[in-house]
Amino acid sequence: MALRWYSTVIDCHDVAAQADWWAQTLGWKVAYADDDEVTLVPAHASVELVRATPWAQVPPGLVFVPVPEGKNVKNRLHIDLAPHLTDDRDALIAELLERGATRVDVGQDADEVTWDVLADPEGNEFCVLSSREV
């Protein structure tokens, strides 16, 4: 028996703004929204497609929920994003920075790593990896 990775939950202050930022970043769509929760799923996901997909192969979503406290320390879990080989990685990072991401130093040696560490507008770290074919 195995469990399915159903979703990743992101705590935040402004649920709608965070969900919108990540939807733009990933090209995903809102599957559910109210004042206390927004759920994002891949843009190609539809109820019909999900029902036709074997349970274990349905991709996870992102869920944004409000919390009163602020973020104080480095995330213990983060999302890795990767551009395709045909994408302009530097331009994608520049766009993220223009939309409110910030560069973060978590102790990485900039001369030896193949990823950039950024934080979303509420400070949650994520990495932009080197370009990949798959």
Share of the chain above pLDDT 70, in %: 99
Domain-terminating residue out of 18, 37, 66: 66
Tell me the C-alpha distance between 42 and 27, whole Å. 7
pTM equals 0.91
Q: Which domain holds residue 108?
A: 79-129
pLDDT recorded at residue 1? 65
CATH number at residue 92: 3.10.180.10
CATH code at position 12: 3.30.720.120
CB atoms within 10 A of CB 55: 7
Flag whether 21 is in a domain. yes
What is the per-residue pLDDT across 18-59, written as a single tens digit (0 to 9) for each? 999 999 999 999 999 999 999 999 999 888 998 899 988 999
Give how far Cα 112 sits from Cα of 74, 108, 115, Å.
21, 8, 9
Among candidate residues 88, 41, 46, the one with its CA nearest the CA of residue 64: 41
The token duo for 47 is: 């109820």
pLDDT tops 80 at residue 112: no
